[in-house]
Structure 1
Amino acid sequence: MPASAIQSVAVLGATGSIGTSALDVVARHPDRLRASVLAAGRNVGALLDLCRAHRPDHAAIADPAGYQDLRDGLAAAGLATRAHAGMDAITELAAGDTCQTVVAAIVGAAGLDSTLAAARAGKRLLLANKESLVLAGELLMDAARDGGACIVPIDSEHNAIFQCLPEAGARDQEPGAGEGCGRHDGLLRIILTASGGPFRGRGRTELGDVTPAQAIAHPKWSMGPKISVDSATLMNKGLEVIEAHHLFGLPGERIDVLVHPQSLVHSLVEFIDGSTLAQLGLPDMRTALAVGFGWPQRIESGVAGLDLLAHGRLDFEAPDTDAFPCLRLAYAALAAGGTAPATLNAANEVAVSSFLQGRIGFLSIPALVEQTLAALPTAPAASLEALRDADARARDCATRLSSRIRAN
């Protein structure tokens, strides 16, 4: 995209941590970026605040019950922004001519339709919605290829890999190029780094009385409750392994995980000639977002450079899959293929929700996921309908199982 052109940007999940970081980067570049669409879940007040600041053409609230408040609030603010409501409306906006770039940051399986729609429409897709790849990775990558979309992953780990693959930036990747994450000739393996979460170093016996408040207190990143719990269980890293498989075309045995508590090395790639490349930076999502907005050019993100002398050391250790079995379960689901990753994801969403509501204990999260995987047979992931059916069955199964698990 020429530097003189202004990208029209849809931020889906605008009131969340990734959405607000994206809008911070957008606001730094009024000569090349403009928020044309803002979408949120239920928080009408926060969405209105963002509309006053960024003056988009369209604002959408996923919960239809918020439509009147959104419409009236926009009118009271004197904004010409059009109000919309419902997930179908958000999906239409993501695919329409209202935007060239889509930041897909709706949490959970709810973000799948809008992400697929943006890919089919050939958008530049800044992908922060893990579940789209975990639930329907093959379908999403096929949609991106068929639609000519340019996918830039916004997870710091996958964005690091994207930056370390020289072929990804070998030529301008305009929306419509259909390049996804680029070729990767000579790539031997990917090494994803994990902070280890708030309970790194604790054994399994020390995790029985963990509270939701403790689990969402991430030591390095500012994230929402669900993602923070996933980081604490290492499920977040397991989902990223499945994502990396789809984004970069490698089997699970060529995707490794290292715990790196400083969160300065965001991931590494190893090539067949013995070279290993790493991307380093402060733990701030604005770097990855700036890469997504500007690639193949570099634009200012608001993040300071990395002073390695000030940080002093970089440590790495193997993940403890006995204390944190969710990572092992994710590898198993990837190996099983078919609908198993969709089952894993759905069961995990139910388990995390139950934990955050105080209905089950922290150690019951992986137990519930494992029981759901064991209870449901794996089927071919032949269509979105088959995946949605697997998702629904897994949610129903996990909900029934959670009612039998006594909170620890």
Structure 2
Amino acid sequence: MGSGTACGVAGSCRVPRQNRHDDNLLGNDVDPATAVVTVGQWLDIWLEMRQNLSFSTRRLYTQHVRDYLKPYLGSVPLRSLTVARVQAMFAALIRTNSSRARPLSYATLQRIRGVLHAALNGAIRRGLLDRNPAHWIELPSGRRPRAVVWTEGREAHWRETGERLAVAVWTATQTAAFLESSFEHPLHVLYLLVALLGLRRGEAAGLRWCDIDLDARVLQVSHQVQDHNGRTVICPPKTESSVRVLALDSISVSALRSLRAERRRGLPAGAALTGFLFVNQYGNPMSPGYVTHAFRKLIAEADLPPIRLHDLRHGAASLSLAAGNDLKVVQAMLGHSSIVLTADTYTSVLPCLAHRAAEATANLVMKAARRTAKKVRRHSRKATRHYGTKKNRRPGSTRKSAHKIRA
């Protein structure tokens, strides 16, 4: 856990330049027709030119370039890059990673292709390449894994086979068990806020005391912290909609008051509490990587089904929907830019939501059926009073003739 570093101008955290020997290739006096540039060199140059990337996006692009693109394509001359060569790289990635415990997902393969495609488009614009080989790449079809709940049956299957779910959330009971078992841990309040408010990991780790008003019972998300090269850097939230003000429930307020009282011990009387809520031994913001590491250990100690820390955020949204909160409210809580994303991700998670919808539909039909039955009985009673029963009806009279007379 390194020292905190402020982010750069205009909300983007710049990564120090690491390829100054390639700077001559950025000049306008370079003839694209004669320049000999490898794919690896161009990827480095392209990343240098993309100064408008957010910190998290730059980190993701850099990771894909370092871990996947350069090892397979880095030494290939840019002009010699072919569709077959790129397709072979993806075949090797799929083959190599299939043997791992957690192989590359379809979404990750698509992102790797997207980074390469964008970089090669940049090379085309500078006259270093005639066409984009990544455009014709075929990847295996796949669907984004849907979140499911750790039901008793799934938990029993996991305990028997060790088979994990790709994306899973805890039930309310399992969430409560985790929060109870982690009560004495220094990061207990952080996990509580993620579980109840759906904060992202970096948002929770980056909370400052000035972001919280316990009297007004609100919390403001205005930035996040991320890990980069052994340092913890402070950056803007993921998107514009991620900047938000959240209402605090009584449990969160109580936990934050206790944490504040604990932090104030040793301070001079009346001194204001400043800085971050969750800090390391040096007083710097807690590394998100450590937050995840501690979370995994606490799950194992509590003997609960495994989930990712991000799944705790999924669980907050799912439980909020199960509690009857409106989808728009959940969208605002999560900081989603689109309600479609919220609906697509969470409405199919908890069985109780489906049961509630099924019951509502059935109740609607049954209410309509009861209203119809009442009308029929009312009409029958009126007809009986008007025509008389079969027993006291006048000889020779019929319902039909009576109806004609009445008409």
Give the structure with the larger helix fraction: 2
Tell me if both proteins adopt one fold, taking TM over 0.5 as the criterion: no
Q: Which has the higher contact order (CA 8 A, sep 6+)?
A: 2
- With the length of structure 1 as denominator, give the TM-score of the two structures: 0.27
Give the structure with the larger strand fraction: 1
Bigger Rg, structure 1 or 2: 2
